[in-house]
Chain A
């Protein structure tokens, strides 16, 4: 069935460093890949997304890359700040369905 694997489960970086989170999906029909940031006790917030007809997308300090052949996509955060600390979830959606399949999350800690 559909599955999304996410690594690492925890990531600690120094303020100003970059952080990279990687996800792999199993369903070759997947064509939409959003990333969500969830702070403790809060709602998941959509921070960036990418569609299968694009290889890379950037929004200020955040970028997402997609490799359709290898079925993986990654989130890159540059110049990390303490307020980037949160749990980040990747997700995938197939063209023939509407449900998002989520990864298991990455807890990012940015130390000042």
Chain B
């Protein structure tokens, strides 16, 4: 039973480029959450999605960031026109039904 999968594990982008982060939830899980972790800090909630719906995006910056969880395929967190301050580890988590959240290995984004 594969856990939560994320790719890529490491992503380097130049300022102004776009970053696309993918998350495949555990089998049977229909709830996906994205969190950001800055170095030496805790995790900050960004967005909560179910299939084809954004349920709560209260933690996501209003500009440049978007997320989706299509009917088929992984959830995607998209960051347009990246800036150095976007450098962080981005974790997604999944849960079966508003229950325990299990985290993926994260994508470490570096903006140069």
Contact = CB atoms under 8 A, between A and B. Distances in A.
B42 A89 contact: yes
B82 to A, nearest CB: 22
A45 B41 contact: no
B72 interface: no
Contact of A103 (B31, B33, B42): B42
Contacts, number: 50
Interface string B14-39: 00000000000000000101010000
Interface residues of A, number: 19
A97 B106 CA distance: 23
A98 B33 contact: yes
Interface in A43-96: 43-46, 49, 89
B56 interface: yes
Nearest to A45: B103
B65 interface: no
Contacts of B35: 100, 102
Contacts of A101: 45
A34 B33 contact: no
Interface in B30-63: 31, 33, 35, 41-45, 48, 55-56, 58-59
Given A42-B105, A43-B105, A98-B98, A104 B48 contact: no
B101 interface: yes
